[in-house]
Amino acid sequence: MFDIRLVSKAALADARFGQSGAIGPKGPGVVLSALPETSLLSLLAAPDAVALLERLAALATHEQAQLRSAGYAQWLLIGAVGTSLDLVAIEAALGRDAALVDLGHARVRISIAGPSAADALAKGCAIDLDPEAFPPGRSAQTLLGHIGVHLTRIGPEAFELIVMRSFALNLWQDLLVLSRAFGVDARAATDL
């Protein structure tokens, strides 16, 4: 008999969704979306690893995963929605050349997109988000306000944030506040 029942629940289940701010005829300036939770691996290269980036890129292609830079000799591997990364195969392929940490349950992904997405992010983050300086595909580990985030530009007007799970709700609220001036539509993962 257990006194406490553990219930699996999305980190942003209790987040505020819907529209806020002034949304004009062109629609919301910012669309905020909670992304479905997926496998997520942190990779740290061994000092003497050879051609690791090429091998990681091949692994990512094979696993249908996305490889993102996370600082010097560090990457994040994000599994496709609905499938799990084959940790045994990845570990076997990399051997002692990289340290792996499974962060699937420790991180939450949030999408922020729309014509004013960069303007909203720029209020809380010091990275130069001009497309010349931070083009699609570029990633950065940085701070948004006081919260550490991994930021990636997905497209000209689309970004993805990866945040520690316990900060996700706080970050979501911050993003709503930063975006309200542009008109924001906040969507749950199920709406995607």
Partner 1 sequence: MASLLSCPHCGTRPREEFTVRGDATLIRPAADAPQSEWEAYVFLRDNPRGWHKEHWHHTGGCRRWLVVERHTVSHAIRSVVDAGMRA
Question: Smallest Cα–Cα separation from 152: which of 123, 184, 117?
Answer: 117
Q: Using an 8 Å Cβ cutoff, are 185 and 17 in contact?
A: no
Distance CA 137, CA 154 (A): 6
Out of 5, 7, 50, 72, the only residue in the binding site for partner 1 (CB under 8 A) is 72
**Which one of 8-16, 29-37, 67-75, 109-117 is the stretch in contact with partner 1 (CB under 8 A)?**
67-75
What's the min distance (Å) between Cβ of 164 and partner 1?
A: 13
CB-based burial of residue 152 (10 Å sphere; 0-12 exposed, 13-18 middle, 19+ buried)? buried
Rg (CA), the chain: 18
Which residues neighbour 127 within 8 Å (Cβ) at sequence distance 6 or greater? 134, 140, 142, 151
What's the min distance (Å) between Cβ of 160 and partner 1?
A: 18
Out of 53, 57, 80, 126, the only residue in the binding site for partner 1 (CB under 8 A) is 126
The answer to the question of residue 141 lying near partner 1 (CB under 8 A) is yes
**Which one of 15-23, 78-86, 134-142, 169-177 is the stretch in contact with partner 1 (CB under 8 A)?**
134-142
The answer to the question of residue 74 lying near partner 1 (CB under 8 A) is yes
Q: Which residues bind partner 1 (CB under 8 A)?
A: 71-72, 74, 126, 128, 140-143, 148
